[in-house]
Structure 1
Amino acid sequence: MNRVISVVTPVYDGGATYLLETYESVREERERLPDGWDLQWLVQEDGTTGKPLGRLPAEPWISPGTAGKGGAAVARTMALPRATGELVRTLDADDLLTPGALVRDIAAMESHPEMGWCISAGLDLLPDGSTKPGPYDPPEGPLTYKTLLAAYDDDHFPVVAAHLTARTPLLLAVGGWPALPAWETIAAVLLCAAVSDGWMIAAPGGFYRKHPAQTTAQAAYADVADASELRTIVRAQAEALHATGWRWS
């Protein structure tokens, strides 16, 4: 039986403009997987209209789902009961995987069995088709909680949190993505790091699409929660978990 990597993508009615392009990048990556591996794509609507899911072809490796509207964090976590993969990889509905991204994720996890997660660098995909690397990408190598927390406190979080790949038991153990109205991907990375070191993959693992309709570009996005409260709760949850002394293994 093949081993599986599950890719989780939240989407909402009105936010599926680029979903078919995302599908194409996932399909191409499925064909690149190493022998003995397969891919499951969990596409979870934040809502119950079924409209965004209706854009996707009926493929046995695509697992669509719906749940009451609660934001991207809730949608991601509600997809986890259907995950059959030993690894879970995040991917937004308007982003793209780079060629070989999942192969590198799998290789990193195979090479570092003591680590619970890995993450790859990203490229901003600008409206004119050009790309730009992230400003704070760390070099290839281990990532520790201390390093990430210091960068978080300096407001220079060094990784693209939406490129997280985690071992499924670890992600379940930390509660999936916290029920926050924003920053849930950063929170999930910090929670994983609080109990397990990770591995930074220097090669870009995805294109982070910049476009006027993206959620984080909307004026209303700044009002989803008080920024200082978000910053405080994300840190407090990670620190509380780290302080227990429990380490994932």
Structure 2
Amino acid sequence: MTRIISVVTPVYDGGQQYLREAFESVQAERDSLPDGWDLQWLVQEDGTTGRPLALLPEEPWISTGMASKGGAGVARTMALPRATGELVRTLDADDVILPGGLARDIAALEDHPEVGWCISAGLDLLPDGSTVAGPYDPPEGPLTYETLLTAYDDDLFPVLGTHLTARKQLLLAVGAWPAIPAWEAIAAVMLCAAVSDGWMISTPGGVYRKHPGQTTSQSTYAEVADPDQLRGIVRAQVEALRGTGWRWP
């Protein structure tokens, strides 16, 4: 029986400039997966224009959907019911997966069945075409809630939330990506960490594109919510979940 890893990508009308490159990176990953594995790509428009989705070819392994605008977190969560994979990996519409990235995610979770999620290092792709490694990348190995919470409180969060790969049942159990206007990718990592240790993959698994058109570069991004409120609600939610004493699985 074929096992599936589902890749989830939110996109909005006007944010599809690099969607074709994301597609090409996902398509290339199909050839490097371990034996017995295949992938599904879930592309969810944050909106209902249909224009970003029209850029994609009709392939049986691509599933598209639309819903009223609610932000990237809402779009990802709205795509999740269509996921047929036992693993779910995030990918932004303006980023790419590096060769072998999904295979390494699968290997990490196969080799460490006690953890519910993993995350790979990333490379920032700058407008001049150069790449730089993340400044706080942890070493290869376990990632604990305590380590991440300390980094979160120090505003030195060490991993890219958009490189999260989680077991689907864990992601569903923690509520997937919360309906907040920003920081939802960090929140999803922290929610998973609140109930399960993770695994850090030191080999970069993707490229995080820095460009003027990205959502976080827009002048309006600073106005979506008060940063202190965002920080407070994310921390309160993960601490409340941690405080229940429930652990995955």
Task: Read off the aligned partner of 1:85 and give its amino acid letter.
Answer: G
Shift of 1:5: 0.1
2:33 equivalent in structure 1: 33
User: d(CA) in 2 for partners of 1:48 and 1:156?
Assistant: 36
The equivalences for 1:90-129 within 5 A come to: 90-129=90-129
The runs of 5 or more residues in structure 1 that have no matched partner are: none
Shift of 1:21: 0.5
Query: Could you say what secondary structure the match of 2:190 adopts?
Result: helix
Residue in structure 1 matched with residue 207 of structure 2 by the alignment: 207
**Pairwise CA RMSD:** 0.4
**Residue in structure 2 matched with residue 147 of structure 1 by the alignment:** 147
* 3-state SS, counterpart of residue 32 of structure 1: coil
Give a deviation string over 1:18-77, Cα, whole Å, max 9, x none. 000000000001111111000000000001111000000001000000011111110000
What corresponds to 2:164 in structure 1?
164
Q: Which residue of 2 aligns with 1:49?
A: 49
Normalised TM-score (structure 2): 0.99
Distance 1:44 1:83 in 2: 12
Give 3-state SS (helix, strand or coil) of 1:59's partner: coil
Match of 1:31, SS?
coil
Counterpart of 2:54 in structure 1: which amino acid? G
Distance 2:87 2:222 in 1: 32
* Residue of structure 2 in register with 1:177 after alignment: 177
Question: Residue type matched to 1:166 in 2?
Answer: A
TM (norm. structure 1) is: 0.99
Rounded to whole Å, the distance in 2 between the matches of 1:112 and 1:155 is 29
CA distance in 2: counterparts of 1:89 and 1:205, whole angstroms: 11
- Look up the match of 1:63: 63
Aligned-partner Cα distance in 2 for 1:173–1:28: 31
Structure-1 separation of matches of 2:120 and 2:191: 17
2:23 corresponds in structure 1 to 23
Query: How far did residue 9 of structure 1 move?
Result: 0.1
1:205, CA displacement in angstroms? 0.7
Given residue 118 of structure 1, which amino acid in structure 2 is its aligned partner? Answer: C
Aligned mates of 1:119, 1:79 — CA distance in 2: 20
Which SS does the other structure have where 1:10 is aligned?
strand
Return 5+ residue gaps in structure 2 as ranges.
none
Counterpart of 1:7?
7
- Following TM superposition, where does structure 1 have runs of at least 4 consecutive aligned residues deviating by more than 6 angstroms? none
| Post-superposition offset of 1:216 | 0.2
Q: CA deviation at 1:127?
A: 1.3
User: 2 CA distance for matches of 1:135 and 1:217?
Assistant: 19
Describe the SS at the equivalent of 2:30: helix
User: What percentage of aligned pairs have identical amino acids?
Assistant: 77
Given residue 210 of structure 1, which amino acid in structure 2 is its aligned partner? K
Corresponding residue for 2:244?
244
SS of match in other structure, 2:200:
strand
Give a deviation string over 1:112-149, Cα, whole Å, max 9, x none.
Answer: 10100000000001111110000000000000000000
